[in-house]
Amino acid sequence: MLMRCVRFYMKINVIQKSDKARKSSQFVTGVRDECLLLESVRKLPLRRTDQTKIYKHMMWGKFRASKNRKDGKEFSDACKSLNVNEEYLSALRTQSFADFFTKAQSLVNGPSFSTHCHRKFSEILLEPGQESIPVILESALLSRVPELKGLMLNYFNVSAEASNICSHLLKNINQIQSSYVFIQRVLNSIDDYSPEKVKLIVSELNSFIIQSNPFSTPNKHDFKLINDRYLLVLNHLKSKRNKVARKMKLIACIHKAAGICIAAACSLIAITTIVLAAHTFTALVMGPTIFSLPLKHFKKQLTSFKFLRSGFLRKVGQQLDVAAKGTYILNRDFDTISSLVSRLHDEVEHDKAIIQFCLERIEDKFSLQVIKELKKSDIGFRKQVEELEEHLYLCLLTINRARALVVEEITASSSEHLK
């Protein structure tokens, strides 16, 4: 009897699984059938233990189904994460990134880098240079509209400021790498962990505490102000782009309405000609006059108005679209850089606090353990610094690409206008 009930439930379960593959509107029906099934099992003339076994069998079936769905979701999430990692690694393997990285590293490793101002370093890496932007905008179609010209100039100023911040952080990374090379050299000199050796090492690390944290500027508040400014520029670009798109739609509707009116006028002329054809003399007199109406000239005259031309608006819309995309990507990059800088700032402060602890409590046991922990955490810290450095180089390369695309759109529009 028990096996018969189990087979009965398995048949119902197969039917329910096929029902789940149908439309979502049948979900309520499936729930009602399951409730009826549970009620029918309860009414069977079985012992309480047999009914409990059937219930457990049903619950385990549900659990396995839900577990399979959960595993499938986790697999999907893992695939998405893998795709993001592949995209990031492919960006690092591009020839443009390799060339830019080589150029930047030649400047960073140069003998005069420590004396260079980070703004000068930014000016060298920024392409096209900020000094050439006013000349490019003056020769563009945007010079006719002061508002659009000011908006694009603001975009280039924002991207130049972002490049300046990235260059400043690269200089900070160079400083912190030099400091941690010194720390690692000191820690590697430990061989016997004798009390005298430990005290000497801790006193040498005191110079690291005196230095200011290289990742204290820009801080979280500064990044918040930077992101707010980028969002403001992005919103202005999107708003102006939407206005241009609405004007283009309006012009398209006007052209379409004009075409319909001209077609209706031609039809009216044809009907008038047919009606007048019955009167030969009138047709001979009025026919040439009617057909000589300058309809085509009227259509050309209609489209010759400046406010009905969509070519200029289309070119402006393309430039605004490229600038808006570049600003959006830049804003997302700075969100990532902000979190990385904040994490490294906390790591540096943590290491300084550990060293300060050793200086205040010169006890062999505690100092020895602290120094061992510093040696262990050094590898992880270096990886975090390398990750930030890669993001900064990618951000600088993205800034240059976006600026180059906008300048390319501007120069292409200007050359087409001259033709």
pLDDT at 304: 47
Question: In terms of DSSP H, where are the helices of 277-310?
Answer: 280-291, 295-303
Helix, coil or strand: residue 304: coil
Helix (H, G, I), strand (E, B) or coil at 217: coil
Q: Does residue 364 carry a pLDDT above 80?
A: no
Q: Is the pTM of this model over 0.95?
A: no
* 388/336 Cα distance (integer angstroms): 9
Instruction: Give tens-digit pLDDT for 297-347.
Output: 444 444 444 444 556 777 778 888 888 888 888 888 888 898 999 999 998
Which amino acid is present at 236? H
Pick from 130-134, 267-271, 304-308 the range whose average pLDDT is largest.
130-134
Nearest residue to 242 via CA among 333, 324, 176:
324
- Residues whose CB falls within 8 Å of the CB of residue 399, separated by 6 or more in sequence, listed in order: 126, 159, 162, 163, 166, 326, 330
Give Cα separations from 252 to 115, 161, 256, 260, 305 (angstroms).
58, 39, 6, 12, 14
Q: Rounded to whole angstroms, how far apart are CA atoms 178 and 207? A: 13
Looking at residue 230, what is its pLDDT?
Answer: 85
Q: Is the pLDDT of residue 393 over 70?
A: yes
Mean pLDDT along residues 223-229: 84
Q: What is the pLDDT of residue 109?
A: 65
Residue of 104 and 215 predicted with greater confidence:
215
Q: Where are the domains of the chain?
A: 130-208+309-418
Q: How far apart are CA 117 and CA 168, in angstroms?
A: 9
Q: Which amino acid is at 387?
A: E
The reported pLDDT for the residue numbered 362 is 61
Q: Could you give the angle at the alpha carbon of 331 between the alpha carbons of 413 and 125, nearest 5°?
A: 70
323: exposed, middle or buried (Cβ count in 10 Å: 0-12, 13-18, 19+): buried
- 2 touches 50 (CB < 8 A): yes
Residue 353's pLDDT band (cuts 50, 70, 90): confident
Asked whether the beta carbons of 375 and 185 are under 8 A apart, the reply is no
Higher pLDDT, 192 or 322: 322
Identify which has the larger pLDDT, 192 or 74. 192
Residue 361 has pLDDT above 80, yes or no: no
- In the chain, count of helices (H) and strands (E)? 14, 0
